[in-house]
């Protein structure tokens, strides 16, 4: 591949696009009404540019769960989560810069057996990350195929709402924010009480005892009863005490299952009677 071809990264949503010599005409993810084009219009960057003053960072969220992101933050400053395993962990979500030190750290912790994602806003450079980690398979829901801006042979699309990722880790496609919005259940999380990894499929409030279910967080559009009830029905079956969303320092640290149910009741009550 000539040096002039590289994936372009959208500055606002951090999604990468199929390698090309010049930037794409637009970013369909940002032009979608759930996101937004930045105030200065569509802007692009790429790995070499980001590498000048940024690096991959990681921080243990709890034993066995590594948060991985970029500093200084890019776009919505998302961070991914690695459920570690000696035979290869599960990497949930993308982030827009995986440098050599980041690859070394992930491999030191057992590497990655599979990459999944909460939804397209957190894909980041998911394909480039997969290539750097040894062409690790990426499993994405068929329902969101149109939102992958860098189609690649490492990506395997699946149908249905469930994926067994091995060693007890499972992916559940709840829909809501996107048709393919998903979360991961990690039974060994929270000291064996179980944890949910949600991106913004379930989104923590500033008060970390409450969550929300948004169609668009940046544009403040809530989901309705059908979508909220579906998320609750699917998560009710899972044992969990903690919830990690897609950002540093965010999540519900204990009693999460009851707090998610109380949050849904609060929202549905306001929607009905408000």
Could you list the residues that contact Zn ion (CB under 5 A)? 10, 12-13, 27, 29-30, 121, 200
Nearer to Zn ion, 41 or 160 (CB): 41
CA 100 to chain centre: 21
User: DSSP of 124-165, one letter per residue?
Assistant: TTHHHHHHHTTS--EEEEGGGGGG-SS--TTEEEE-SSEEE-
Asked whether the bond before 72 is cis by omega within 30 degrees of 0, the reply is: yes
The rounded distance, in Å, linking the Cα atoms of 238 and 273 is 30
Cα–Cα distances in angstroms (integers) from residue 152 to residues 41, 66, 170, 212, in the given order: 28, 26, 23, 33
Nearer to Zn ion, 33 or 160 (CB): 33
- Minimum CB separation of residue 268 from Zn ion in Å reads 21
- Minimum CB separation of residue 30 from Zn ion in Å reads 3
Contact 11, 24 (CB under 8 A): no
- Minimum CB separation of residue 47 from Zn ion in Å reads 16
Nearer to Zn ion, 133 or 231 (CB): 231
- Minimum CB separation of residue 239 from Zn ion in Å reads 26
- Minimum CB separation of residue 109 from Zn ion in Å reads 27
Nearer to Zn ion, 108 or 220 (CB): 220
Nearer to Zn ion, 10 or 136 (CB): 10
Query: What is the dihedral angle through the alpha carbons of 126, 128, 133, 137, rounded to the nearest 10 degrees?
Result: 50
């Amino acid at each position: 591949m000539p040096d002039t071809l590289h994936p372009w990264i959208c500055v606002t949503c951090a999604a990468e696009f199929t390698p090309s010599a010049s930037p794409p005409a637009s970013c369909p993810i940002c032009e979608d009404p759930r996101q937004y084009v930045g105030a200065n219009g569509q802007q692009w960057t790429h790995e070499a540019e980001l590498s000048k003053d940024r690096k991959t960072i990681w921080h243990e969220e709890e034993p066995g769960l590594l948060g991985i992101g970029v500093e200084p933050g890019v776009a919505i400053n998302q961070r991914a989560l690695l459920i570690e395993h000696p035979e290869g962990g599960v990497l949930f979500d993308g982030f827009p810069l995986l440098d050599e030190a980041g690859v070394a750290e992930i491999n030191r912790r057992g590497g990655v057996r599979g990459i999944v994602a909460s939804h397209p806003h957190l894909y980041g450079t998911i394909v480039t990350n997969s290539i750097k980690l040894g062409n690790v398979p990426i499993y994405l829901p068929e329902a969101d195929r149109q939102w992958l801006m860098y189609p690649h042979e490492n990506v395997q699309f699946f149908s249905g709402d469930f994926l067994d990722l091995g060693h007890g880790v499972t992916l559940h496609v709840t829909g809501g924010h996107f048709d393919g919005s998903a979360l991961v259940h990690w039974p060994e999380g929270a000291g064996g009480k179980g944890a949910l990894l949600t991106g913004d499929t379930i989104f923590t409030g500033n008060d970390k005892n409450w969550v929300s279910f948004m169609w668009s967080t940046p544009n403040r559009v809530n989901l309705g009863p059908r979508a909220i009830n579906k998320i609750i029905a699917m998560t009710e079956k899972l044992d969990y005490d903690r919830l990690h969303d897609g950002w540093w320092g965010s999540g519900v640290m204990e009693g999460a299952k009851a707090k998610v149910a109380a949050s849904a009741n609060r929202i549905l009550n306001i929607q009905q009677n408000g």
